[in-house]
Structure 1
């Protein structure tokens, strides 16, 4: 490749048909898959593994050293999946000794000024809106959406197909298939529109809604609600995903909406 106005380390592994625009820097120990476009003024630092047919826009910094005082220079990686679009001035830090990697899945859209911190694991087909700030060790399930200007606490989990409203402070885990809104962040119903767009049937959506009625509207605590769901709802992939998420939640799940007392 001949990119006279870009810096490409001779040890970087770059497919033949990758386009690298002027004033971009590619460090050593970087791999970039075929068909990917790297815009101008992008910095791809050590440990980046970028898939095929990605688009990375100006000002983005990929695989930077973690903003973690415990980081001791360990040899860690950043994975960007195939078909993912990373917009202007996004920053993605590489992993630490905790997971040894940061992962952004395939076919994701990370909008401008978002930050993905060290050891985050983002699934496939996810969307992060403009200026979403994600702290370290966050897990985000497939097809989840976090709307713009939201902040995610470290170690939080966002379940698959969840949708979080803009400007949210995500301090607790957001279960799969739900909408989350208000302050403090609360359950705001099932993401039925998103689920229908992705091929879920009315029967599946109705079952998910019934599960969350028990979890959030029955007056039971989470442990009792999980037992009731397991007893009354037949096993299914959706039921089991919700139950496993609630049981495994480290920070606790978001609460149901409660109107403030006058």
Structure 2
């Protein structure tokens, strides 16, 4: 066990031999830290937090009571192999959040980026890869192997099917089941997940230029109503557009995926 003298550890907390606790870490009452855990500078565990497995929590991350980070995957194929969970900097992890380590078959790592907000009761399953500034609202759940890009918002009580990709800046409405990939900046809602437009509010809040928003609107209309298959429409967009935001959608649609896509007006 390597606990920096600058860390503050409550007398009731259990830190197993082998754990690394850096300066400025605060570990509250009744927390349990496993032997292969690394808590980087400024991490704060409020109370009753369990961190186990091969798990690293990034600087200045705040974890609220009863969160369990680094638990083994909820996957019957998991046979006890050593896999990891890596959580980035400045995340806010609320009560009863669960994040599992990866599986050998899925690459061996679950990775969470920086500056995320994970609200009470949400679940991040094995082998998920999350970008920066992601928000997962209360009781939403990501199944295994999902890829969630930067600035995505997933509404409360929503579920994301395994292997689904959600592109940058997309927003998923509350109580929505997402079974197919979601284009960057898409707006998805309804119980079975319909692509209903663009996340215009998010684009405006991030200060995206009006010209890019106009280009995105036109691109969405072409994807919704143009001739040919969805991927064919996207390829034609790529030949015509000068907008980096539209190009982002084109690259997402024409890239490799294990799923089909949510398309406009179709779940």
TM range (shorter): over 0.9
Q: Which runs of 5+ in 2 are unaligned?
A: 1-6
Candidates 239, 246, 259, aligned match of 1:239: 246
Corresponding residue for 2:194? 186
| Cα displacement string for residues 145-201 of structure 1 (whole angstroms, at most 9, x for unaligned residues) | 000000110001111000010000000111101111124311211112111211211
Q: Distance in 2 between matches of 1:12 and 1:227?
A: 50
Conserved in 1, the CA contact under 8 Å of 2:145 and 2:163? yes
Q: Distance in 2 between matches of 1:177 and 1:80?
A: 24
User: Is 1:172 aligned to residue 187 of structure 2?
Assistant: no
List structure 1 runs of 4+ shifted beyond 6 angstroms.
Answer: none
| Cα displacement string for residues 42-82 of structure 1 (whole angstroms, at most 9, x for unaligned residues) | 10002110001111010100010111111122211101110
Candidates 259, 263, 267, aligned match of 1:255: 263
Secondary structure at the aligned position of 1:256 is classed as: coil
User: Is 1:9 aligned to residue 16 of structure 2?
Assistant: yes
Number of residues of Structure 1 aligned to a counterpart in Structure 2: 258
1:138-177 residue pairs with structure 2 within 5 A? 138-177=146-185
User: Is 1:203 aligned to residue 211 of structure 2?
Assistant: yes
Conserved in 2, the CA contact under 8 Å of 1:50 and 1:79? yes
Secondary structure at the aligned position of 1:63 is classed as: strand
Corresponding residue for 2:25? 18
Candidates 112, 116, 125, aligned match of 1:108: 116
Q: Distance in 1 between matches of 2:169 and 2:193?
A: 17
Q: Distance in 1 between matches of 2:162 and 2:126?
A: 10
Shift of residue 242 of structure 1? 0.7
Moved more, 175-184 or 59-68: 175-184
Moved more, 199-208 or 106-115: 199-208
Corresponding residue for 1:68? 75
TM-score (norm 1): 0.94
Q: Distance in 2 between matches of 1:158 and 1:258?
A: 16
RMSD: 1.5
Candidates 229, 233, 238, aligned match of 1:230: 238
Conserved in 2, the CA contact under 8 Å of 1:185 and 1:255? no
Moved more, 154-163 or 245-254: 245-254
